[in-house]
Amino acid sequence: MGESRNRVAIGEEQHQQAQVNHHGETGHVHGVAGDLRGVDHVMHTHQGRQRSAHGDHRIQVHPRRQHAFEALRPDLVHVELEIRTPILLPDDEVEWVYFPSTGMISILQTTADSRGIELATIGREGALGAIAWFGLNYALTAAIVQMPLTALKISAARFRKHVAQFASLQEMALKSNEVILAQTQVTAACNALHNVEQRFCRWLLQTWDRSESDTIALTQEFLGEMLGVRRTSVTEIASELQASGIIRYRRGHIEVVNRRELEKRSCECFRAVRRAEKTIMGIELKK
């Protein structure tokens, strides 16, 4: 797998610390899944501060979930993956559960001719592979890194063991998969009912919210693949949005200049997904 070539395992000392390396105070993530993050995360309740080989790190774990967090720490592995790195392909065995800290993962439905369309995305608010707890050990869809990813991962076997012991982890696994299902349902309706410009704007908004800056590293070809449309369609829409002063596009980078206008051009599906995240997981995903 492409992931195995890119993973960076942390040492024993870092396993014992399961640290948080956060790059700013905005972008709060609330909920059970957020409490499990050990790297590059802000959780709702600040519990302390530690230092590791990576520098100054904050640990913020809800007191009710402290025991689950402590149990997971020795099994967590830090990984950094580049854009387009495949994590899972259909029928692959689910060997790892991922908890993103920065970046984004795309869940794709692929076809026999190697085409695909995005069904859902996972950022720092969710988890990939948590469904392994339910006994689904093989992937039904593909998962690919859409934005450069920093994450913690734990083997599916160890995750199942911990989930069996802690109700908070069971809750996290259930809620994480409920959010993915909700996204998939909204995306199916969006792809069928809304025009390409609306979908383009929705995609930019959800990606921008998870980006560390106002600029997204992205080619029009890749975006066309995610939306299931021709590159020429993406080029036309990007040119019009740039002419309207909403985005700025240059050499594989899209900068959001006017978020308010971008939301007006988008469909209601962006807000529908945000409402689902807040309802299911109590998440408030902010820039």
CB proximity list for 98: less than 8 A, separation 6 or greater: 79, 87, 105, 122, 127, 128, 129, 151, 152, 153
52 occurs within a structural domain:
yes
Q: Based on the domain organization, do 115 and 201 belong to the same domain?
A: no
Q: Identify the pLDDT of residue 225.
A: 81
* Token pair listed for 42: 């802000």
Check which CATH number belongs to the domain holding 240 and give it. Answer: 1.10.10.10
> Does position 56 have pLDDT exceeding 60, yes or no?
no
Of the chain, the percentage scoring pLDDT greater than 70 comes to 75
Q: Based on the domain organization, do 77 and 119 belong to the same domain?
A: yes
Q: Identify the pLDDT of residue 36.
A: 52
Q: Based on the domain organization, do 144 and 211 belong to the same domain?
A: no
Check which CATH number belongs to the domain holding 106 and give it. Answer: 2.60.120.10
pTM of the model: 0.77
Q: Based on the domain organization, do 98 and 146 belong to the same domain?
A: yes
pLDDT (tens digit per residue) in 7-33: 333 333 333 333 333 333 333 444 333
Q: What is the dihedral of CA 240, 244, 246, 251, to 10 degrees?
A: 50
pLDDT (tens digit per residue) in 80-115: 999 999 999 999 999 999 999 999 999 999 877 767
223 or 115, higher pLDDT? 223
Question: Which one, of 88, 133, 82, 89, lies nearest residue 104 by Cα?
Answer: 82
* Token pair listed for 129: 């592979």
Q: Based on the domain organization, do 9 and 141 belong to the same domain?
A: yes
What is the residue range of 207's domain? 195-266
- The full length of the chain comes to 287
Q: How confident is the model at residue 40 (pLDDT cuts 50, 70, 90)?
A: very low
Q: Based on the domain organization, do 171 and 204 belong to the same domain?
A: no
Q: Which of 6-15, 83-92, 203-212, 246-255 has the highest mean pLDDT?
A: 83-92
